[in-house]
Amino acid sequence: MKQQYKNTMFRQSGFSLIEALVAFLILSIGLLGIASLQMISLKAGKTAEMRTVAVIKAEEILERIRNNPVQVMAYISGAGDLGVNNGCNDGGGAVTMCTAAQMVEDDIYNWKADLLTSLPNNTTTNAVVEVVAPVPGTDPTAKVTVTINWQERNTETKTMDAMNYSVSTQICNNTGC
């Protein structure tokens, strides 16, 4: 009886090398999956950050337009239109008392300058403000559309992906609203 007990004790004396290697392989695959998931979440976080900047900048120019309602039609800008720094918003410019038209130029200048520093790859970042005039005899609101375009690096394909954000709203263009 003692001999039988002795044989079973030697057969179950711990893990074999193969069992340890299989456990290590399973652990390694799990850790690689976690690392891959981390990279995907970092990329998604960066894209979300850039989209948030675009949303904030679009709302910023819409608020600037709402603050200067008589000049709604003057806010139409192309991708290359950078406005003029009249110093209306910072008090440091040559103009001490800005007219509504000068405020439009200053708003576009400050907005686009800030937009170029806020979004990545600022050589391809552009923004356009489109305004559709109200139809005479109807509701006195103009349709304003702000479109912001930028590019982000795609780490998987090693290319640049075109991104954009666009928002439209109705803005009253006179004091009768």
Helix 100-118 and helix 17-66, axial crossing angle in degrees, nearest 10: 170
- pLDDT tops 70 at residue 95: no
pLDDT for position 108: 87
- pLDDT tops 80 at residue 8: no
- pLDDT tops 70 at residue 80: no
pLDDT for position 36: 92
pLDDT for position 154: 79
Residue count (the chain): 177
- pLDDT tops 70 at residue 110: yes
Full DSSP string of 84-135: ----TTTS-SS-SS--HHHHHHHHHHHHHHHHHHHSSSTTT-EEEEEEEPPP
Give the predicted TM-score (pTM) of the model: 0.71
Compute and round to an integer the Cα radius of gyration of the chain. Answer: 30
**Cα dist from 130 to 50, 58, 142, whole Å:** 22, 12, 10
pLDDT for position 123: 64
- pLDDT tops 70 at residue 107: yes
pLDDT digits (tens, 9 = 90+) for 37-69: 998 898 888 889 989 999 999 999 999 888 888
Q: Which residue has the higher pLDDT, 166 or 158?
A: 166
